[in-house]
């Protein structure tokens, strides 16, 4: 279908897509969308006191940058890619100007609280689907962005609860999910749908706990500064993610308090068992725990590999160039 005013074919996703927060994930999304020509125009929204908007435009991740969230009024799709703690203010400020039928999604690492904010602050005529692309890096900012960051990674999608009215009707949810899946699949991701509560439990175990553990390892090692020059690859590999954005991770922990607390309790119990076995010189117990962990890590790695399609593979039912559902 052609736009008569511009004589251009309608883009697959949207004439205009807005990304609020053009750091690593936001700028990488912009690069991926523009590389594949999925949107005619990609705009960025950011802070006036940050160089991110200028950098994102310089690398070609966005066409134009704005500091007012209400610039999202021209977009048919809005992606929230700031720290999760900034979402409520963004929703409050852009909500009144978003056109009916606008799709809002995000890249945040927690979902129960985010879905509550969306229900509270976004107009009923605007659709919201929670997204969590399981891709990233400890690096920050648009200068670290890559158009292939999302290739063959998994994106977890959380629909709003079905309520039989407004954006909770089955038809609205299905249409919004289809649009959201199309965006992520067309930049090379696989998608999987699950309830927000299950999402937050999953990521507390496989994402949030590892960061908390890496933080604890670093803070524990900090008590022995004389040893720093002798640090080898194992320590650096284990603690790499502790180099991430502190403000972002504070928001993540505090918006997923219950599941993160449970997982921290679980790891404390495991460490106490190991501590007791070492104190009691119980070699069979220590060996059993190490063997169990080694075996389980192999199973986890195999499950991860099995969930991913070979590069370039796409089921016939998927959009062109996209990856299929799990």
User: What's domain 2-194's superfamily in CATH?
Assistant: NAD(P)-binding Rossmann-like Domain (3.40.50.720)
pTM: 0.87
Cross-strand partners of 14: 39
User: What are the residue ranges in the chain where pLDDT is below 50?
Assistant: 1-7, 310-326
Domain ranges of the chain: 2-194, 198-307
Specify the fold of 198-307.
6-phosphogluconate dehydrogenase C-terminal fold (1.10.3660)
**CB within 8 Å of 227: residues ≥ 6 apart:** 221
pLDDT at residue 238, rounded to an integer: 94
Looking at residue 1, its pLDDT comes to 40
pLDDT of residue 194: 96
The 10s digit of each residue's pLDDT in 58-98 is 999 999 999 999 999 999 999 999 999 999 999 999 999 99
The pLDDT value recorded for residue 136 is: 80
Nearest to 138 by CA among 304, 50, 24, 233: 24
Per-residue model confidence (pLDDT) at position 294: 97
């Amino acid at each position: 279908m052609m736009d008569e005013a511009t004589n251009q074919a309608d883009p697959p996703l949207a004439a205009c897509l807005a990304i609020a927060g053009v750091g690593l994930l936001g700028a990488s999304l912009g690069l991926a969308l523009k590389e594949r020509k999925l949107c005619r125009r990609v705009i960025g929204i950011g802070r006036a006191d940050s160089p991110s908007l200028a950098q994102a435009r310089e690398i070609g991740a966005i066409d134009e940058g704005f500091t007012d969230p209400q610039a999202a009024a021209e977009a048919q799709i809005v992606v929230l890619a700031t720290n999760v703690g900034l979402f409520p203010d963004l929703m409050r400020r852009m909500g009144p100007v978003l056109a009916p039928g606008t799709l809002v999604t995000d890249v945040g690492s927690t979902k129960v609280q985010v879905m509550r904010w969306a229900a509270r602050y976004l107009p009923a005529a605007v659709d919201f689907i929670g997204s969590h692309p399981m891709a990233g890096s400890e690096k920050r900012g648009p200068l670290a962005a890559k158009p292939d960051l999302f290739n063959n990674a998994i994106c977890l999608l959380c629909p709003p609860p079905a309520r039989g009215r407004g954006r909770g009707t089955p038809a609205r949810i299905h249409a919004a999910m289809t649009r959201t899946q199309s965006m992520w699949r067309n930049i090379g991701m696989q998608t999987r749908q699950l309830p927000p509560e299950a999402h937050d439990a999953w990521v507390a175990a496989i994402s949030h706990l590892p960061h908390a553990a890496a933080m604890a390892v670093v803070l524990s090692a900090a008590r022995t500064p004389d040893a720093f020059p002798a640090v080898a690859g194992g320590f650096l590999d284990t603690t790499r993610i502790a180099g991430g954005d502190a403000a972002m991770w504070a928001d993540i922990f505090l918006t997923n308090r219950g599941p993160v607390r449970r997982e921290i309790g679980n790891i404390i119990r495991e460490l106490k068992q190991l501590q007791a076995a070492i104190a009691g010189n119980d070699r069979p117990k220590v060996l059993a725990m190490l063997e169990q962990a080694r075996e389980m890590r192999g199973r986890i790695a195999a499950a991860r590999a099995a969930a991913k399609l070979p590069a370039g593979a796409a089921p016939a039912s998927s959009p062109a160039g996209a990856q299929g559902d799990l």
